[in-house]
Amino acid sequence: MILPVQFIAPTFAEGYCPPTLQQFANDYAAGLQLTSPLSLDTVIVSDTAPADHNKLWFKTLAGAPFTYPSIPLYKWHTVFATWVAAHYRIPGAHDWEEFTQESDIWSFEGGDGSDPGTVAPTATTGSFWEVDPAYNGRSPMSPGSITGANPVKSLGYGEDFGSGAQVATSQQVAPHTHPFVTDAAILNGDNLKTVTSGVGAAGVMIGLSGPPYTADIAIGPNAFTSAQEAMPVIHPVRGMSCIRRTGRLYYVG
C-alpha cells in the first residue's frame, strides 16, 4: 500500500559547510520534514468496524495491526455498503503454493472457501485464488532455448512441451550384443546351422556330421514379458499448485 506522504528537504544557510559527512547527515536528518494529507483525525484505529464511514479504518486484532490474511487499512465503499481493502495482486496473477488439498486454495489469503468453479467470485465474495489447470501435471520452465535438448528446442511462451515417457527407437538404444539361440529362425535360408549326424547341408555347419540339423541359429531378440514399455523420462518433482487470482477484488472488513 502507498500512503500519500511527502518529504521536504531542509534549507541550509549560505556558506554552510559541515566539518564531517556525519555532521551533514545529522543536520539533514534533523531538518527533514514529513507531510501528509492523512492525519489521526481521518483514521480510526479499532478492532471493530467504526460507525463513521467518512474516515479510514485501520483494522487491528486485539490492539495489534491486523495484516494477514488482509491488509489493515479499509475504506467504506458506498456501492457495496461495506468496508473494503484491495487485494495486493491483480486478477489473473499467478503464484506457486503448496497445499494439502485443492479446497484449501479457496480460503487462501482470506477467501470465503467456496469453489470458484461452482460459485463465481464477485468483487467482495468468493475465493481469491483458483487452480490454473494449464499447469496440472507440469513443471514450469522459462521460455527460450533448452540447454542440451535433442533435437534442438526453443520453448515458446505458453507452450506445452515434453512427455512423461518415451518409446526408444533403434537409434536411441545404446550399442549392445545378444546371445545365440536356436529356437528362432530369423536368418535367410540355411546360413548357419549345427549338425548332430550326417554330412550336413548348404551353409556353414558346426558339428561332426548331419542331418538331422537344428533350427537356424539366430541372434537372440529382445524379450518382453508382455509388450515393450516406454522409458519414463519424468525428472524428480514435488506436487505444488499453480494458483491464479480470481476476479475477487476486495477484502471485506
Most confident of 26-35, 134-143, 178-187, 216-225: 134-143
pLDDT of residue 166: 87
pLDDT tens track for 8-20: 888 988 888 989 9
Overall average pLDDT of the 160-188 stretch: 72
Residue count of the chain = 253
pTM for this predicted structure: 0.65
The string of DSSP letters for 166-184 reads EPPPGGGSPP----EESS-
Indicate the average pLDDT of the chain.
Answer: 83
pLDDT of residue 34: 75
- Kindly tell me if the per-residue pLDDT of 53 is higher than 60: yes
What is the CA 72 to chain-centroid distance, rounded? 29
Q: Which residues contact 47 (CB under 8 A, 6 or more apart)?
A: 59, 60, 61, 62, 63, 66
pLDDT of residue 210: 64
Which 3 state secondary structure label does DSSP give 135?
helix
Encode burial over 77-107: b for 16+ CB neighbours within 10 A, e otherwise: beeeeebbbebeeeeeeeeeeeeeeeeebbe
Distance, in Å, from the CA atom of 230 to the CA atom of 234, rounded to the nearest integer, reads 12
Q: Determine which of 70-74, 205-209, 229-233 has the lowest per-residue pLDDT on average.
A: 205-209
Confidence of residue 186 (pLDDT cuts 50, 70, 90): very low
Overall average pLDDT of the 232-248 stretch: 91
